[in-house]
Structure 1
Amino acid sequence: MEKRTDHVFYVLECKDGSYYAGYTNDLERRIQAHNEGKGAKYTRAKRPVRCIYFETFDNKREAMQAEYRFKQLSRMEKERYMKEGATT
């Protein structure tokens, strides 16, 4: 049987209210790593973080493209994107 790997674009809200967007193939493990200070440098000083949005994709390329597009948006556009998105 083939192992299914989800490719996830996710958004975290940091303790200071800022957003962090990223890619992973194991969302729970990645959030835990962020909260243990083992994630991105950006989130280390802004813990705890919580996942406020995620989308799954069939492949890594699509998930990373979604992450890139999200990072180009203004804060207001990011909030609209998450509100109107398919998964929260």
Structure 2
Amino acid sequence: MAGKNPQAARILKEKIQQACKKLAKFPNLGRRRDELIPRLRSFSVEDYLIFYFPLETGIEIARVVSGYRDLDAMFDVD
């Protein structure tokens, strides 16, 4: 995206950063994804998914990926 539309990429980056700050304060907002990895949660921002683990002091971001990706293959789910 950054190569085709740098301004859109900056806006998306800001939205993802804001979502991460919100999730750090309210880690249970995201959807539980125990079918992928125990304790994993996801939260969508536009067409992207933030995967994270809730912690006592916030969250740990596992990855941010396109929502169009094959999640089962990405997380090696049988």
Q: Give the TM bin, normalised by the shorter chain.
A: 0.3 to 0.5
Which fold has the larger relative contact order, with Cα–Cα distance below 8 Å and residues 6 or more apart in sequence? Answer: 1
Higher helix proportion (structure 1 or 2)? 1
Higher strand proportion (structure 1 or 2)? 2
